[in-house]
A and B are shown apart, each in its own frame.
Chain A
Amino acid sequence: EVQLVESGGGLVKPGGSLRLSCAASGFTFSDYSMNWVRQAPGKGLEWVSSVSSSSDYIYYADSVKGRFTISRDNAKNSLYLQMNSLRAEDTAVYYCARGGYEPDYWGQGTLVTVSS
């Protein structure tokens, strides 16, 4: 059974940093591209970033470019999102999702709240 479990969310002040993690199991993690997608309270889905299976290709939404860094450790079956210079508008549930252009499995999400 495919499982994606996010962690690392919480309350952080504007300008602060946070590192999200996603632990994957039930599939060969190193075979798949991975994504981070977020959803602000009461709003729609927003794609944040993608990384290819071997980290050769990395993409970011303009809204996070230069502030967020996606990475993965295939030996640990884990995906990460380092978030710096956080803003109030980054407040959202962050989902880890398997796959490239069409994510097929999603975790339950971790809530990031940016507030003073």
Chain B
Amino acid sequence: QSVLTQPPSVSAAPGQKVTISCSGSSSNIGNNYVSWYQQLPGTAPKLLIYENNKRPSGIPDRFSGSQSGTSATLGITGLQTGDEADYYCGTWDSSLSAGVFGGGTKLTVL
């Protein structure tokens, strides 16, 4: 059971928008930055969003992040078939003194 809760799967049509939620608590999302990772099949995770809403160089602005209270959200607009992947949220948990990840969300672009 993951400390952070994500929906197991989401789906949308090409060109549409999708959001992926990540729910935590005051000891993790509520007091620490959230990052988001994309993992394409058979590859290592790739950082998409850091510090809740910042994009590393090279990440298109179709990807966005937000945080409110003890929840965070990843948004993806203009969906492409190449966006089909597993997406993970992650942060630090101050009570556990440990890194924590969500269980992952599989995105299907129909």
Residues of chain A at the chain B interface (Cβ within 8 Å): 35, 37, 44-47, 50, 59-62, 95, 97, 100-109
Contact = CB atoms under 8 A, between A and B. Distances in A.
A50 B90 CA distance: 14
Contact of A104 (B56, B102, B103): B56
Contacts of B18: none
B97 A109 contact: no
Contact of A45 (B37, B47, B96, B97): B37
8 contacts: A44-B2, A45-B90, A47-B101, A61-B98, A101-B99, A102-B50, A104-B56, A105-B47
Contacts of A60: 98
Nearest to A61: B98
A104 B47 CA distance: 6
B93 to A, nearest CB: 9
A102 B99 CA distance: 9
Given A104-B47, A106-B44, A44 B99 contact: no
B104 A44 contact: yes
A103 B98 CA distance: 13
A60 B102 CA distance: 18
B98 A59 contact: yes
Contacts of A95: 44-45
Nearest to A48: B99
A47 B99 contact: yes
A79 B32 CA distance: 25
